[in-house]
Structure 1
Amino acid sequence: MTPTSLAIPLTGLPFPRSEYERRQQKVLDTVASAGLDALVVTARGHLRYLTGYDGNGAYFAPFPLILVPGRQPTYVVREYDEQAVRSYSCIDEIVTYTHKNDFAKVCADVLRQHGLQGERIGFELGCWSLAPADVSALQTQLPDLKIADASRLVSSVAAVKSERELKVMRDAMRMTDLAMRTFQSSLREGVTELEMAGTMAAAIEAEAGKAGGEIGMAPATILFGERTKLAHGSPMQHPIRRNEPAFLEVGASKHGYMVGLVRCAVLGRHPETESLHALAEEVIEALVAAIKPGVSAGAVDAAGREVLKRSGRQGVFRQRTGYQTGINWTERGDLSLEPGAEDILKTGMTLHMPNILCSENGYLFGTSAHVLVTERGAEILSDTPRTLYRA
């Protein structure tokens, strides 16, 4: 815990300070390799990864973390949020601004104090939490500033997990598996999507309480019958009937590390979605077999698409194959398994590969694998079988 957090209950860092210092140094090493003089981190997932603070106050204006080789990191945050940042982060050097229009001037002043006003600095131009207007305002304050796109720099480091991170993710996966088992055992004619969501949440809450309440479940995509045609649909008061499909995408999280899965079921029989699921299982098997250190993300993607090509049903798959997981897996710029992706897989990376296929009639159905890249290949993190559940 930071010294100021000791006086405030239930605050502090989820990992030792040394873990955050290790992450920051890895990022600084990458900054040097990229030929940059400094890095300005604004993506909320990256801020949490590097400092422990989740960046919730940054909806107002960016909360830049300024990383400079040979210097202590500096956090520029809104004055209103200063105590929260001090209580939840490992950063000691904090500079504040009061109003949104103060952000650019205060941030520019910090960069000047570090002698960076004319240097080449990386900004996360392709991530959330940094608007073009923010960059323009900084450039106005510092006309000689050389801005480089460093959107993928932090994510390239964060993609490889430490043992501490993996322990947290395994804990979260146990809760995700519990949610899946609850979903399967509770599936019966007449149960509604919202009832199912409540049953799963109660099961997770009861189990998480035994672990100190550190684990939570993100809002789940639970869809029954014709509503399985809705991508990312929210659960409603809609019941499942006999011979209808059921779709679930859910993930538990611990300290911000989300570990998701996709599983589907059929109450009775539904040949159209059953056929989709069988194909998705084949694709997942090929993807898992293709994962090993040194392989490109594009090559893994191609292994799955080859199965679809052989089936003659390439058109049923309409998205990327997978993505890196960890803190805030929806961050733009993270490693992605997609055609032509050149990122090289490394031991310690975690990936989620949801193979959700779309039938001619619009049903979305499939399964997924959440894996850890090891020296031997892919380690499956979930205990829930990838096969179709029939109730």
Structure 2
Amino acid sequence: MASSAIPQTGVPFPKSEYDRRQKKVLEAMARAKLDALVVTANAHLQYLTGYDPQWGNYFAPFPLILVPGQAPTFVVRLYDEIAVRANSCIDEIVSYMHRPEFVKLTADVLRQYGAQAKKVGFELDAWGLAPADVSALQAQLPDMKITDATDVVRLTKAVKGDLELEVMRQAMAITDLAIETFQRSLRDGITEAEMAVILNEKVKEAGGKFLMPVLAFGERNKLPHGVPAQHPIRNNEPALVECGGVKSGYAAGVCRGAVLGRHPETEALHSLAEEVLEAAIAAIKPGVPAGAVDAAARKVLERHGRLKASRARVGYSTGPQWSGHRGNVSLEPGATYILEPSMTFHMPIHLWGDTGYIFGCSEHIVVTEGGAEMLSRTPHKLYRA
């Protein structure tokens, strides 16, 4: 079935953009001396093909096989083949019916490209591949030399092209609309669920899409990743929202905190989070190791005697998808990845209080030649309603 016959299908970017990305990955493969690369992480597949496999490969991998001099080949479930053809830039697509068959089919493709006894990279440090999958492929190709090549796409994807940065700015405009609506709508008695409806409707009116992994009022800010419930905010209680507009598969998220009236504990947490965030942003420059950004943030906590207030990394690379998952560049202790211009990071600083509140703020930044540019136009200062 031709993809052109199916309405609302296709890839978000021109074919030339995906060609550019694949070329960069092939160059990285050459530096790593890889003869083939098996890509399985969802965000990496979307980055290289345009297809988001989250509703297809939940049961078995959809490996994209890259071999120098050969067309990229997608191995997918037969059930999803039409969707892959309609929503990806890949022409070479082979399919399997049941989960055990994907191993033999993937091995057959690697043999076809002469990689059965060569150095083949797998994304061993990312979602999308189980140890059993790797073992089964090794059994099919006993002479294949398996190596962890997660960094090949991870580092290529981390540096954004002009088209990617453009859609991320558009996505952030949607985020800012949602944040401004959240702040205007905050009042005594409104529930999290009612607020979620207001935000979704406002974004929909503007023709946008967005994600909202966190929306919590009052005591429910003691829950990590609190999602909207039928719970009202009252005077002298805090509110936290984490949301991101979505454009062409790229999400640009931020966290913003607010207090209705006064709430000393979360106000103090937010003030400390602002200081931590600003120190981390000030440390961002091309050539700086990712771990140094995390260290700059923790120095602030150490100075305040509050090191245990943080239970998370300082940030993670973004796009496509929300991209806070395993398989992306992380601003965490000891990370050795070197920052480059046009990398993007979401930097959520959520701190734990003495009575269990979790509160803070974030920024979504682009690494520039001179440091960092914040994408959002809504200040990360505490909003007081």
Q: TM-score, normalised by structure 1?
A: 0.96
Shift of residue 4 of structure 1? 3.1
**Alpha-carbon distance in structure 2 between the residues aligned to 1:85 and 1:314:** 46
**Alpha-carbon distance in structure 2 between the residues aligned to 1:59 and 1:271:** 44
Q: What's 2:365 paired with?
A: 371
What amino acid is aligned across from residue 257 of structure 1 in structure 2?
Y
Q: What's 1:325 paired with?
A: 318
Moved more, 98-107 or 260-269: 98-107
What amino acid is aligned across from residue 268 of structure 1 in structure 2?
G
8 A Cα contact 1:229 1:363, kept in partner? yes
Summarize the alignment of residues 259-274 of structure 1 with structure 2, pairs less than 5 Å apart.
259-274=252-267
Q: What's 2:308 paired with?
A: 315
Q: What's 1:65 paired with?
A: 64
Summarize the alignment of residues 74-85 of structure 1 with structure 2, pairs less than 5 Å apart.
74-85=73-84
Q: What's 2:380 paired with?
A: 386
Q: What's 1:345 paired with?
A: 339
Shift of residue 241 of structure 1? 0.7
**Alpha-carbon distance in structure 2 between the residues aligned to 1:123 and 1:189:** 52
What amino acid is aligned across from residue 247 of structure 1 in structure 2?
L
Q: Percent identity?
A: 61
Number of residue pairs the alignment of both structures matches: 383
**Alpha-carbon distance in structure 2 between the residues aligned to 1:357 and 1:322:** 14
8 A Cα contact 2:212 2:242, kept in partner? no
Does 2:145 align with 1:151?
no
What amino acid is aligned across from residue 333 of structure 1 in structure 2?
G
User: Out of 15, 31, 34, which is 1:33 matched to?
Assistant: 31
Shift of residue 142 of structure 1? 0.9
Q: What's 2:12 paired with?
A: 14
User: Out of 355, 366, 378, which is 2:349 matched to?
Assistant: 355
8 A Cα contact 2:254 2:364, kept in partner? yes
Give per-residue Cα distances to partners, 1:269-323, cap 9 Å, x unaligned: 0111111111111111111111111111111111111111111222211110111
**Alpha-carbon distance in structure 2 between the residues aligned to 1:283 and 1:255:** 32
Q: Secondary structure at the match of 1:253?
A: strand
Q: What's 2:51 paired with?
A: 53
Summarize the alignment of residues 206-285 of structure 1 with structure 2, pairs less than 5 Å apart.
206-208=205-207, 215-285=208-278
Q: What's 2:181 paired with?
A: 182
**Alpha-carbon distance in structure 2 between the residues aligned to 1:316 and 1:61:** 39
RMSD value over aligned CA atoms? Answer: 1.1
Give per-residue Cα distances to partners, 1:95-148, cap 9 Å, x unaligned: 111111111111111111111111110011121121111112111111111111
8 A Cα contact 1:248 1:263, kept in partner? yes
Shift of residue 339 of structure 1? 1.1
Q: Secondary structure at the match of 1:121?
A: strand
Shift of residue 324 of structure 1? 0.4
8 A Cα contact 1:43 1:331, kept in partner? no
**Alpha-carbon distance in structure 2 between the residues aligned to 1:311 and 1:133:** 46
**Alpha-carbon distance in structure 2 between the residues aligned to 1:65 and 1:119:** 17
Shift of residue 333 of structure 1? 2.2
Q: Secondary structure at the match of 2:2?
A: helix
What amino acid is aligned across from residue 349 of structure 1 in structure 2?
M
Summarize the alignment of residues 72-151 of structure 1 with structure 2, pairs less than 5 Å apart.
72-151=71-150
Q: Which runs of 5+ in 2 are unaligned?
A: none
What amino acid is aligned across from residue 73 of structure 2 in structure 1?
T
**Alpha-carbon distance in structure 2 between the residues aligned to 1:42 and 1:33:** 20
8 A Cα contact 1:172 1:254, kept in partner? yes
Shift of residue 79 of structure 1? 1.5
**Alpha-carbon distance in structure 1 between the residues aligned to 2:324 and 2:305:** 31
**Alpha-carbon distance in structure 2 between the residues aligned to 1:367 and 1:223:** 13
**Alpha-carbon distance in structure 2 between the residues aligned to 1:188 and 1:88:** 43
Shift of residue 80 of structure 1? 1.8
Shift of residue 60 of structure 1? 2.7
**Alpha-carbon distance in structure 1 between the residues aligned to 2:159 and 2:195:** 35
Q: TM-score, normalised by structure 2?
A: 0.97
Structure 1 stretches of at least 4 aligned residues deviating more than 4 Å after TM superposition: none
Q: What's 1:212 paired with?
A: none
**Alpha-carbon distance in structure 2 between the residues aligned to 1:313 and 1:76:** 49
Shift of residue 192 of structure 1? 0.4
8 A Cα contact 2:77 2:95, kept in partner? yes
Q: Which runs of 5+ in 1 are unaligned?
A: 209-214
Shift of residue 222 of structure 1? 0.8
**Alpha-carbon distance in structure 2 between the residues aligned to 1:206 and 1:264:** 24
Q: Secondary structure at the match of 2:38?
A: strand
Give per-residue Cα distances to partners, 1:28-66, cap 9 Å, x unaligned: 111111111110001111111000111131123111100
Give per-residue Cα distances to partners, 1:302-353, cap 9 Å, x unaligned: 1111111111222211110111011130331211111111111000000111
8 A Cα contact 2:317 2:324, kept in partner? no
8 A Cα contact 2:287 2:340, kept in partner? yes
Give per-residue Cα distances to partners, 1:227-282, cap 9 Å, x unaligned: 10100011110001110111111111112211110110110001111111111111
Give per-residue Cα distances to partners, 1:354-386, cap 9 Å, x unaligned: 111111101111111111001111111000011
